[in-house]
Amino acid sequence: MNDVVTRDVDFDVIVVGAGVAGCVTAYQLATKGHSVMLVERGQSPGSKNLSGGVFYSRIMEEVLPGFIDEAPIERHITRNCLSFLSETSFVNVDYGDERLSKSVTAVSVLRARLDEWLATKCEEAGVMLMSGVKVDSLVMEEERIVGIRAGEDELMAHVVVAADGVNSFICRDAGIRNKEPLKYLAVGVKSVIGLPRNVIEERFNLTGDEGAAYAVVGDCTNGVGGGGFLYTNLESLSIGVVLRLDDLVSKEETSSELHDRFLTHPAIEPFLRGGELLEYGCHMVAEGGQAMVHDLTRPGLVVVGDAAGLTLNTGFTVRGMDLAAGSGVAAAKAIDAALSKGDFSKASLDAYCAELDKIFVGKDMRTYAKAPHFLENPRMYGAYGQLLSDVMYGVYNLDTTPRQRLVSGALGALKKSPLSLLQLVKDMYAAGRSL
Amino acid sequence: MRKNPFGTVPERLDKNRYETDVEQSHIEIDQKAAAATGAGPLLVRVCPAHVYSQQADGTIGVLHAACLECGTCLAVAPPGVLKWHYPRSGMGIIFREG
Ligand SMILES: Cc1cc2nc3c(=O)[nH]c(=O)nc-3n(C[C@H](O)[C@H](O)[C@H](O)COP(=O)(O)OP(=O)(O)OC[C@H]3O[C@@H](n4cnc5c(N)ncnc54)[C@H](O)[C@@H]3O)c2cc1C
Ligand code: SF4
C-alpha cells in the first residue's frame, strides 16, 4: 500500500506529552530538521510526572551526549540493595561495586526537574513547545490520524505521536487501545523526604555523588503484589510502594495505609528519621510487560513510552524511563523515514516496531516476558520474607541451644512456614526462567 | 497501624502545590450507580489522596481538588460509576519533585 500524502499541515509531527518518551522523540525529529510541536497538559513539563526515580540512562548518552554531566540528575547509583521484609525483620542482599561508579549506568532523578530540562533541550533544537495545553482528542479522517484537537483548536500534522503516558486517554478514546486488565496496572504511592546531604551520605554509606537504591519485597505491601522502593537523591529520599490493582481491590487494602506501613517499618523508618516531607504523590505504573505492548501504530500515528505499555518490572528494578527513551529513538527513526518518503500509512510507520525489536527495548521486553506472571505468585509478598528471616534468626539467635547446620536450619524454618519444599524448588526454577 | 510521622494524608497534601479548578470538577460520580454497585468503599480505599469519602447520608463525597491524577479510581470503578478525565489545561496537581 503506497499512499503518498501532500496535504497542508501545521507541523510535520505533533508529539502529545512531554515526558521522557515525548521529549526524546521530539528532540530527535527536530535535530533531523523536521517541524515538530510538543504539547504538554501540565503548566510546565514534568509537573504531572512521577517515577520511583532510577533512570538506567545509558541510552541518553546516544540522544544527548554529555547527559550525565549536564542533566539535573541526583546521584549515580553505586549501591543496589534487595531487601526482604517480614513484619518485624529484614534480610538484605547489598551489592556495591566500584565498577558501577566508574561507568555510570543508573542515576536517580526527580521528574519535575528532569522533564523540564529535557523540554528545554527540545526547544533549543527547534521544537515548538506548548505547555499548559491538554489535548482532548485525535482528529481522524476515517482510519487515518491527521491531527489533534485541544478545546476549539485543531492542529494538523503528517504524524501524531502519542507519548501521553500509561493512561493514554487519547488512544483509548479513539478506540486504538482498550482499558487494560487490572493485573497489568499498579499504583505507585510515593513520598519525597528531605534530609541534609551529609545525613543521607552517612546513613547510606555513600561519598560524593554516589547513590543507593533499595528494592524491597515481602511484608511492605502486606501481601499485595508489588513492592517498595527507597532511592537516594542529593538532598532527599524517594520512597514508596507499588501496588498491583487486582490485589489492592481483592485484598481489601487501603493504598495510603500500605504506603504508611512501609515508611514506618522498623527496617525503613530509621532511614527517614528527622526528615521533612517535601511531596506526597501517586502515579499509575504499567505492569503487564510484553502483554501490554500492542497497537503501536495506525496510519498517521505512533505510540511510544508508557502509552505503548513499555515498562518492565523484574522484581529487582522498575524500568520505564529507559524504555521510553529507547522507543523515542526508534519512533524518530521510523517517522524520519516516513517523512522523507511522504508515506504515512501503517505499513510505513510499522518500521517503528521493527526498530524497537532490533534494540534493547524489544529484546528486554521479550527476555522478561514471563516476569509479570512470576511476580503474580503470592508467596513473593508474604511467605518468602518470613522464611528468609527465620533462617537468619536460626543462624544468629545464639540462645545456647545447640546450632544446626545452615541447611538443616533452613529446612526446619521451611517446615514451620506454609511453604513446601516442592513449591520452593518450583518457584526458584520459575524465577530462573523469568527474571 | 503505625502512625506516619509525616502527618495525615490531608496534612501531607497541604505541602503539595495545586492549581485548583474552582469552576469545574474533573470527577463526576453517579451516586445511584455507586450505591447499586457498592463502589463507595472501594473508591475510598484505593485513592491515595483520600479524594472519596463516605458521607453520613450514604452518598460518596468527592474532593476533586486533592486529586493527584493517577487514574486508579477510574481503573477499578465498576462501569457507569465514574466520569473521570484529566483536569482542564494547566489545572490540577503541580509536582515539584516527581
Ligand atoms: C511509582 C513509580 C515508580 C517508578 N520507578 C521507575 C524507576 O525507578 N525507573 C524507571 O525507569 N521507571 C520507573 N517508573 C516508570 C516510569 O516513570 C515511566 O515508565 C515513564 O515515566 C514513562 O515515560 P513516558 O514519557 O512514556 O510517560 P510520562 O512520563 O507519563 O509522560 C506522559 C506525559 O504526557 C502528558 N499528557 C498526558 N495526557 C496528555 C494530554 N491529553 N495532552 C497533553 N499532554 C498529556 C503528561 O502530562 C506527561 O507529561 C516508575 C513509575 C512509577 C509510577
Ligand atoms: S485519580 Fe488517583 S488521586 Fe485522583 S481521585 Fe482517582 S485515585 Fe484519587
The tens digit of pLDDT for each residue in B69-96 reads 999 999 999 999 999 999 999 999 999 9
Mean pLDDT across the stretch A394-411?
73
Please say if the pLDDT value at position A3 is more than 60. Answer: no
CA of residue A153 relative to chain centroid, distance: 33
A115-125, pLDDT tens digit by residue? 999 999 999 99
The C-alpha cell at A404 is 544446626
Question: In chain B, what percentage of residues exceed pLDDT 70?
Answer: 99
Does the Cβ of B9 fall within 6 Å of ligand 2? no
A167-212, pLDDT tens digit by residue? 999 999 999 998 889 999 999 999 999 999 999 999 999 999 999 9
Mean pLDDT across the stretch A259-288?
96
Mean pLDDT across the stretch A311-329?
89
Mean pLDDT of chain A: 91
Please say if the pLDDT value at position A26 is more than 70. Answer: yes
The pairing of beta strand A185-194 with beta strand A276-286 = antiparallel
Task: Report residue A427's pLDDT band, with 50, 70 and 90 as the boundaries.
Answer: confident
The C-alpha cell at A425 is 524448588
CATH level 3 topology of A3-73+108-178+291-368: FAD/NAD(P)-binding domain (3.50.50)
The mean-pLDDT minimum among A279-283, A354-358, A388-392 falls in A388-392
- The per-residue DSSP string of A62-112 comes to HHSTTHHHHS----EEEEEEEEEE-SS-EEEEEEE-HHHHHS--EEE--HH
Return the best residue to mutate from B63, B72, B83, B91 for the ligand 2 pocket (most ligand atoms within 8 A of CB).
B72
Terminal Cα distance for chain B, rounded: 27
Nearest CA distance, A325 vs chain B (angstrom) = 18
Report how far residue A372's alpha carbon sits from residue A363's, in angstroms, rounded to the nearest whole number. 16
The contacts of residue A60 (CB under 8 Å, 6+ apart) are A67, A68, A71, A325
Residue nearest to atom 15 of ligand 1 (CA): A320
Where do the CATH 3.50.50.60 domains begin and end in chain A? 3-73+108-178+291-368
Residue A33 CB: number of other CB atoms within 10 A? Answer: 11
Mean pLDDT across the stretch A257-283?
96
The mean-pLDDT minimum among A338-352, A421-435, B47-61 falls in A421-435
Q: What number of CA atoms fall less than 13 Å from residue A77's CA on the CB side?
A: 23
The contacts of residue A232 (CB under 8 Å, 6+ apart) are A74, A75, A108, A200, A204, A206, A211, A212, A213, A238
Q: Residue A430 has what pLDDT?
A: 76
Task: Report residue A2's pLDDT band, with 50, 70 and 90 as the boundaries.
Answer: very low
User: Domain extents for chain B?
Assistant: 9-92
**Exposed / middle / buried, residue A377 (Cβ in 10 Å: 0-12, 13-18, 19+):** middle
- Phi/psi of residue A148, each to 5°? -130, 155
Type of residue at A37: M
Report how far residue A416's alpha carbon sits from residue A138's, in angstroms, rounded to the nearest whole number. 58
Closest C-alpha among A435, A288, A291, A293 to residue A367: A435
- The per-residue DSSP string of chain B comes to -PPPTT--HHHHHTTSEEE--SS--SEEE-HHHHHHHTHHHHHHHH-TT--EEE-TTS-EEE-GGG-----HHHHHSPTTSEEE-PPSTT-EEE-S--
Task: Report residue A141's pLDDT band, with 50, 70 and 90 as the boundaries.
Answer: very high
Q: Residue A1 has what pLDDT?
A: 41
Report how far residue A433's alpha carbon sits from residue A367's, in angstroms, rounded to the nearest whole number. 9
Higher per-residue pLDDT: A289 or B30: B30
Task: Report residue A399's pLDDT band, with 50, 70 and 90 as the boundaries.
Answer: confident
Please say if the pLDDT value at position A4 is more than 70. Answer: no
Q: What CATH number has the domain spanning B9-92?
A: 3.30.70.20
Mean pLDDT across the stretch A397-426?
75
Q: In chain B, which residues have their Cβ closer than 8 Å to the Cβ of A110?
A: 97-98
Reduce the DSSP state of residue A128 to 3 states and report it: strand
Whether A119 and A126 have beta carbons less than 8 Å apart is answered as no
Distance from residue A18's CA to the centre of ligand 2 (Å): 21
Type of residue at A173: D
User: Does the model's ipTM exceed the 0.85 cut?
Assistant: yes
Higher per-residue pLDDT: A390 or A143: A143
Nearest CA distance, B29 vs chain A (angstrom) = 19
The mean-pLDDT minimum among A14-18, A222-226, A239-243 falls in A222-226
> Does B43 contact chain A (CB < 8 Å)?
no
Does the Cβ of A21 fall within 6 Å of ligand 1? yes
Nearest CA distance, A63 vs chain B (angstrom) = 22
Q: Residue A130 has what pLDDT?
A: 98
Where do the CATH 3.30.9.90 domains begin and end in chain A? 183-286
Task: Report residue A6's pLDDT band, with 50, 70 and 90 as the boundaries.
Answer: low
Task: Report residue A402's pLDDT band, with 50, 70 and 90 as the boundaries.
Answer: confident
The contacts of residue A367 (CB under 8 Å, 6+ apart) are none
Please say if the pLDDT value at position A315 is more than 90. Answer: no
CATH classification (class only), A183-286: alpha beta
A42-64, pLDDT tens digit by residue? 999 999 999 999 999 999 999 99
Please say if the pLDDT value at position B17 is more than 50. Answer: yes
